[in-house]
Amino acid sequence: MRILLVEDDEALGDGVRVGLAQERFTVDWVKDGKEALAALETENYGLLLLDLGLPRLSGIELLKLIRGRGMTVPVIILTARDTVADRITGLDCGADDYVIKPFDLDELAARIRALTRRKMGRAEPLLVHGNIVLDPAAHKVTLDGAEVNLSPREFAVLRELMENTGIVLSRDRLEQSLYGWNEEVESNALEVHIHHLRRKLGARLIRTIRGVGYVIQKD
């Protein structure tokens, strides 16, 4: 999943970016509200992490704008401890959750997973498909109970497909979830990841829909 981080504090922003990369999320980081709006208009994000005190366009103004335009991207606001009123305004303006600075990265990652589950209408934390179980928190995949070794990108592709079973994901959408702005998209890399996933988890797990993309059918 690709995440847009909007935070003007250099140290905090860098910490979040690095921490979430370790959680196998792709993170684009911008430092003001206008840049954030431009990014949201051009890229497909699974989540927005939004600081409220921002240059050029505040977090609340940005939130009102994007909700006014019908953008449904889930939003977690990052706020200071002494700003209860801001948190309430944020939630009432369409944010889904908040964390209070300084926050624990593990807690933030857990809230992201919880929000993703809710968005997909799922209560169960594990993603299960037949004999394959993916644990988003532990970054583990098992096949018939035995752990399967996946690279970080193979894991990210599988998580994206298992979170969207029955939906054909285009090559573009999958690549967007894998690569941030500063990363070169290697040509054929996606095909290679799919090939490895099929070899490790079974040839029939992921179907290719020619000219459209890839899908894991519902059980």
Which residues in this chain contact Ca ion in the complex, by CB under 5 A? Answer: 8, 51, 53
Q: Which of residues 9 and 135 has its CB atom nearest to Ca ion in the complex? A: 9
- Residue with nearest beta carbon to Ca ion: 53
Containing 5, the helix (H) or strand (E) segment is strand 2-6
Q: Residue 147: which region, alpha, beta or left (left: phi > 0; alpha: psi -120 to 50)?
A: beta
Virtual torsion, Cα 60, 115, 49, 136, nearest 10 deg: 180
d(CA 63, CA 157) in angstroms, rounded, equals: 29
Q: Which of residues 8 and 135 has its CB atom nearest to Ca ion in the complex? A: 8
Smallest distance from Ca ion to CB 212, Å? 41
Smallest distance from Ca ion to CB 174, Å? 33
Q: Which of residues 57 and 168 has its CB atom nearest to Ca ion in the complex? A: 57
Smallest distance from Ca ion to CB 13, Å? 9
Q: Which of residues 15 and 53 has its CB atom nearest to Ca ion in the complex? A: 53
Smallest distance from Ca ion to CB 78, Å? 8
Q: Is residue 46 helix, strand or coil?
A: coil
Q: How many residues does the chain have?
A: 219
d(CA 119, CA 135) in angstroms, rounded, equals: 17
Q: Which of residues 77 and 197 has its CB atom nearest to Ca ion in the complex? A: 77
Smallest distance from Ca ion to CB 31, Å? 9
Smallest distance from Ca ion to CB 172, Å? 32
Q: Which of residues 54 and 174 has its CB atom nearest to Ca ion in the complex? A: 54
DSSP category for residue 52: S
Tokens standing for residue 21: 């990369």
In terms of Cα–Cα distance, which of 77, 80, 56 is closest to 67? 77
Tokens standing for residue 171: 């090559």
